Chains A and B, each alone.
Chain A
């Protein structure tokens, strides 16, 4: 630690080199974040959320087959490492003749993961809505899907916002795993830059800082949304 700091500040030439690297790597890293990390997160989360709602509904439905399919899906995804899933999709499936672009493979992997974890959050949120809300909806002539869409899910959204935000923020960071299936997202950029100049600590810290800023902005947005959804409580 001391040696590292000494090597920087005792040597003006090295200080200048580090500042230069920090500056020149910032833009590529930011590009990686803007063009890959953020869209990858957003797309995967939206698809994952749809999967999660369907899975949650399947779990609470009275149709045995739906329940079983949903249970198996959640069990498999939660019971195996995300990295292993990504490797199976990207490196494994070509053996069966299924070749998937690295970016798409990452989207599939992350969506499936979000779908499984978030389905439990949404299932709990739906079940936490009082039975009387269903009955009130039915009593004014609404159908199952109308009650679900208009009455239950909006209330479930409020309950599930904090845990879903957790999943979302985790996903931002999990996208760094996509570097291992050759998606040139931010962390892969960082690895490439660091490999060329050997300033691992500097470059990786810079990447970490960008992840942190993104997540910080997200938690601010979460707070704003919570305030909005809490207005009627």
Chain B
């Protein structure tokens, strides 16, 4: 359903991604781990073209972007709508309430009616446990609540795949659980997810597969039990020893 072929990304002289190949099946939850600077966030950002890959082919449900050729802006916007992005720093729109944050995409991009958008936004906020906070501004919400609004905002576009970029890294420890719970619920419902995270428990409990990246390449890929208890590669072992 999602495929990445020969993905390269270069920032100036620095090559961050050195040929990533990855297939992700529908409904699968993939957790990406790796040391900082390994390129995992960059890979995620390439998937919704917040970074333009230097070369490579990305395709989601038959929609393909080949970056070895030029890609028109129009195609990028359409491609982005297939993905929902959740940011480490939430990036909610501070001048809009929780409800307005979630309604923005459906109204402006999908051209839905206000009423329909409001109904859906309300349902999504209830789903992430914020039914009583819909008229709050982001500044009035805790980090965990803001991140859950962020998830609802991404879901509102009805994406084919949800991309999570270290969604709990900026949170106080006691707020991590509420965000992970929402993510686990999503996984259970069959949402396709690619999650960059340092939460190994989430990886163990919710991931179908774990990918270990280092220095711009995929080093190892396996089911969670295998990768955590019996890593094949020396680099994976070293990394897991360091964080555990």
Interface set of A (CB-CB < 8 Å, partner B): 130, 132-133, 135-143, 146, 150-151, 154-155, 158, 231-233
Contact = CB atoms under 8 A, between A and B. Distances in A.
A139 B94 contact: no
A141 B94 contact: no
A135 B157 CA distance: 15
A150 B105 CA distance: 11
B38 interface: no
Among B48, B89, B94, max chain A CB count under 10 A is at B94
Given A140-B104, A141-B81, A155 B94 contact: yes
A139 B51 CA distance: 11
A159 B93 CA distance: 15
Nearest to B157: A140
A233 B48 CA distance: 30
A141 B80 contact: yes
B43 to A, nearest CB: 15
Contacts of B157: 140-141
Contacts of A155: 94-95
Interface of B: 48, 50, 77-78, 80-81, 83-85, 87, 89, 91-96, 104-105, 108-110, 137-139, 153-154, 156-157
7 contacts: A135-B85, A135-B91, A136-B87, A139-B48, A141-B109, A142-B105, A158-B95
A217 B30 CA distance: 60
B94 A142 contact: no
A136 B95 contact: no
Contact of A139 (B50, B89, B95): B50
Given A132-B87, A232-B137, A233-B139, A140 B95 contact: no
Q: Give the secondary structure class of A's interface.
A: helix
Contacts of B138: 232
Contact of A136 (B77, B93, B109, B156): B93
Given A136-B87, A141-B78, A233-B139, 13 more contacts: A132-B87, A133-B93, A135-B85, A137-B93, A139-B85, A140-B81, A140-B154, A141-B77, A141-B110, A146-B108, A155-B95, A232-B138, A233-B94
Contacts of A136: 85, 87, 91-93, 153
B147 to A, nearest CB: 13
Nearest to B88: A132
Among A138, A141, A150, A151, max chain B CB count under 10 A is at A141
A232 B139 CA distance: 7
A151 B104 CA distance: 10
A141 B85 CA distance: 10
Contacts of B110: 141
Query: What 4 pairs between A and B have smallest CB-CB spacing?
Result: A140-B105, A136-B91, A139-B85, A132-B91
Contacts of A132: 87, 89, 91
A230 to B, nearest CB: 10
Nearest to A140: B105
A120 to B, nearest CB: 23
Given A140-B153, A141-B109, A135 B50 contact: yes
A135 B88 CA distance: 12
B154 A139 contact: yes
A232 B108 CA distance: 21
A154 B95 CA distance: 8
Contacts of A151: 93
Contact of B94 (A137, A138, A143, A232): A232
B87 A138 contact: no
Contacts of A133: 91, 93
Given A133-B93, A146-B109, A150-B108, A138 B80 contact: yes
